[in-house]
Amino acid sequence: MTDRPADGTDTEPNGSVADRFSREPAEDAGPSEGVDEPVSTDGDDVTDEASLGGAEDLSDWEGEYVDRVADRLSTNYDLERDRVVGAERFDLYGKSQIESSKHVLHPVVTDAHHEAYEHLFVTREPRVTQDRLESLITLGHELAVEWIDANADHYSTTFTFVVIAPDLPENVTTFVERFSERRLLKLGYNGRYTIRVAVAAPERKAFVSSPGAELEPVFVHWETEDVEPSGGRFRRFGDRLGI
């Protein structure tokens, strides 16, 4: 796990699913100011033909798997189907927002207000490679510049990319297990953002994610001794924000 602060030293600081999916691709969020320009990782080409056309060739059981994933995410994320972001199309996109305020003496007197956001992107592809994951990481840095409203209330934003593929190569497993990208915004005064990646190969009953992602309860639908009870990640996240 490697933290690469942009300009300072880092410190840790909602009916049915189908009714909530959009039938038309949503527009990208507008640009905002105040985000330090990130340094791109290797893999400059964000566009990948597999993400645009490969999903149609995959078997129906993978579509059913995505539906089950969406069902598990629906209590914590606002979900969209077929979300288009730049040149990429994602089978599933989820957004979560948590706000926390501390009050002094009276509820109208606010001492501190923090906002935390999570963006989850899920794509089905015929194969997964390290280069493909690096292109998604590059996209994450680009979205940080475009989507984050970096101000004193911003606490954190997390971009997580999950690839669903038939197989999980060993080199990909090693890369994912070691990868975590975190950048401070204005020396941490405007919070930070984190990029994580994960790969699920349900046919092989295999799953791997970056440190701290904790997505096993959502993506692992088979028996395993390492799955954490659902909600643990969100509970600990809330505890850190004091809610």
In a 10 Å sphere around its CB, with 0-12 CB exposed, 13-18 middle and 19+ buried, how is residue 19 labelled? exposed
Distance CA 233, CA 199 (A): 18
Which pLDDT band, with edges at 50, 70 and 90, does 226 fall under?
low
93 pLDDT more than 50: yes
The predicted-structure confidence for 119-139, as pLDDT tens digits, reads as follows 999 999 999 999 999 999 999
Average pLDDT over residues 208-216: 93
77 pLDDT more than 70: yes
Which pLDDT band, with edges at 50, 70 and 90, does 38 fall under?
very low
41 pLDDT more than 70: no
Average pLDDT over residues 6-34: 42
The tokens for 20 are 């909530």
Average pLDDT over residues 146-172: 95
The tokens for 52 are 């645009």
Average pLDDT over residues 150-163: 94
CB 82 within 8 A of CB 90: yes
Q: How many helices (H) and strands (E) does the chain have?
A: 7, 7
CA neighbor of 114 nearest in space, from 188, 50, 178 = 188
Ordered by start, the domain boundaries in the chain are 17-25+34-241
